[in-house]
Structure 1
Amino acid sequence: MQNTGIALVTGATSGLGAEYCRQLARQCKTIIAVGRRGDHLQALGAELDGLTRIHPVVADLSTVEGVTRTVEALRQQGPVDLLINNAGFSTLGDFADSTLEVELQMVRLQIDAPLELARAALPFMREQGRGQIINVASVGAFVELQKTAVYGACKAFLLAFSRSLQAEVAGQGIRVQCLCPGLTRTEIHDTAHFSGFDKGRFPESMWMEADAVVAESLAALAGDEVVVIPGQVNRDIVRGAVQQQLQALQH
């Protein structure tokens, strides 16, 4: 991975976001850490004190106010060399029985906010002739996700957007990555939106730890892969899903 001066990480209060901050701490002079829980951001800053400067931004990226505050931090603290669009959540249940406002909140957080932040960061990256963007998606971008239809659709959007954006910025010194992890031990399955989810239904071999997922993501920035699927079990899942889709097209 190239040396990174300033990074902006969304969803930095826990899980993959906090782990990105930890693993980037020795390579970044400043990390703009965005999240809804100010106390968690303060704790992260104390943990990484002496390694990097954490600039906390308390913001809900599903709101106009939260995105505006984050874009302003990007402009004032930047230019940003690395943008990591990680913030997200999921619901569990049939879409027809869901609360529409919550599903729309998910879309605003996982589609609208990454678009707005990428649009704010890219002109500076083009001017510098370098930059990196990581959009955190999911293996759900490739497979059917019953009970989490909107979440899967959001991740499929990020996958398509990342691929097309990389094609647009090729030759400009900018790298775009779409990280597609599978089951990862984070707080996403512990929220009220995901009540009723039984982690025990899935074998231990299917789960990854956040530090391993982030390590694969950052290591892959040195290459030219747009789509990064951490863990062999997840790559096998995606390979099987893609083969089924190709077979269906042949009939």
Structure 2
Amino acid sequence: MARRSKPPARETALITGASGGIGASLARQFACGGFDLVLVARSRDKLEELAEEIRAEHGLNVTVLPADLSVHGAPKTLFDAVKKKKLEIDILVNNAGVLEMGAFAAMTPERHQELINLNVVVLTDMVSRFVEPMIERGRGRILNVASIAAFQPVPSLATYAATKAYVLSLTESLSEELKHSGVTVTALCPGITETGMVAQAREANPAASQLPPFMIGDVDDVAAQGYAACMAGEVIRVPGALNYAASIAARAAPKWAVRAVTGMMGRFAI
């Protein structure tokens, strides 16, 4: 009897902030692509619910690892847990993040640090730990969820925009540094997207609640574009024609002009 060839092993994607919003939609996108998943977020119940849905629909292996990544040392603990389970992460999706809208001076120093910690420190820690095995294997992908706010200063979102500018810069730098390594790094830069986090910001801020519907992106479309960009090895993907035009204008226009426009809009939102 002829020996059957061993079927190729499925690749695995680890997604942070996977309990809802863009993260959950990205998990569904990667599941449709046939990837086994490692889902990370604080809420075990929401992760388990999503995992059961994906297992039932796609028959994939889905590992749930609840974790509060804002806790000191959490990225290392997560990396060690993945290693202990002998899981090989082929794609790292850094989606976990936090947004706060309002006047910079009205926010506490502790809140500013929370934004910087999760959006910058934790993301960097995750990349630095998971990229090393990818480089050793000569293949891998990283998808960092940034924001359209990364392209310009945004009064009323000063710290958030600054953290996302860091994410974009880190992504662009690593994409060049790792160009011949077999590892690609992509930044997904959505505009305002209908997620739970944005809904909370709109409820808390009267100006934000008046945003017209055409300015608010669909979460599934954003995730689909993020998945496509990651798989294609694109460096930057900005979903939505309006957002894309704004990102081009922000890079092409003089800094003073960008500040004038975003300043006028940002002050209105405070």
Aligned length: 247
Q: Is the 8 A contact 2:143 2:230 kept in 1?
A: no
Structure 2: state its 5+ residue gaps: 1-8, 259-270
Q: Which has the larger radius of gyration?
A: 2
Query: Alignment partner for residue 33 of structure 1, among 21, 24, 39?
Result: 39
Q: 1:119 is paired with a residue of what secondary structure?
A: helix
**Residue of structure 2 equivalent to 1:142:** 151
State yes or no: 1:76 paired with 2:77: no
Q: Is the 8 A contact 2:151 2:250 kept in 1?
A: yes
With 188-197 and 113-122 compared, the bigger mean Cα shift is at: 188-197
How far apart, CA to CA, are the structure 1 residues paired with 2:149 and 2:80? 32
How far apart, CA to CA, are the structure 2 residues paired with 1:199 and 1:23? 29
Q: Is the 8 A contact 2:16 2:96 kept in 1?
A: yes
How far apart, CA to CA, are the structure 2 residues paired with 1:131 and 1:185? 30
How far apart, CA to CA, are the structure 1 residues paired with 2:160 and 2:257? 24
Q: 2:14 is paired with a residue of what secondary structure?
A: strand
State yes or no: 1:97 paired with 2:115: no
* Amino acid paired to 1:216: Q
State yes or no: 1:61 paired with 2:76: no
Query: Alignment partner for residue 177 of structure 2, among 168, 175, 186?
Result: 168
**Residue of structure 1 equivalent to 2:264:** none
Query: Alignment partner for residue 252 of structure 2, among 240, 243, 250?
Result: 243
How far apart, CA to CA, are the structure 2 residues paired with 1:29 and 1:235? 29
Q: 1:25 is paired with a residue of what secondary structure?
A: helix
Q: 2:55 is paired with a residue of what secondary structure?
A: coil
Q: 1:27 to 1:45 in 2, by over 3 A?
A: same
Q: 1:12 to 1:75 in 2, by over 3 A?
A: same
**Residue of structure 2 equivalent to 1:123:** 132
**Residue of structure 1 equivalent to 2:116:** 107
With 78-87 and 193-202 compared, the bigger mean Cα shift is at: 193-202
**Residue of structure 1 equivalent to 2:261:** none
**Residue of structure 2 equivalent to 1:13:** 19
Q: 1:197 to 1:89 in 2, by over 3 A?
A: farther
TM-score, structure 1 as length reference: 0.91
Q: 2:253 is paired with a residue of what secondary structure?
A: helix
RMSD: 2.2
**Percent identity of the aligned residues?**
32
Q: 2:19 is paired with a residue of what secondary structure?
A: coil
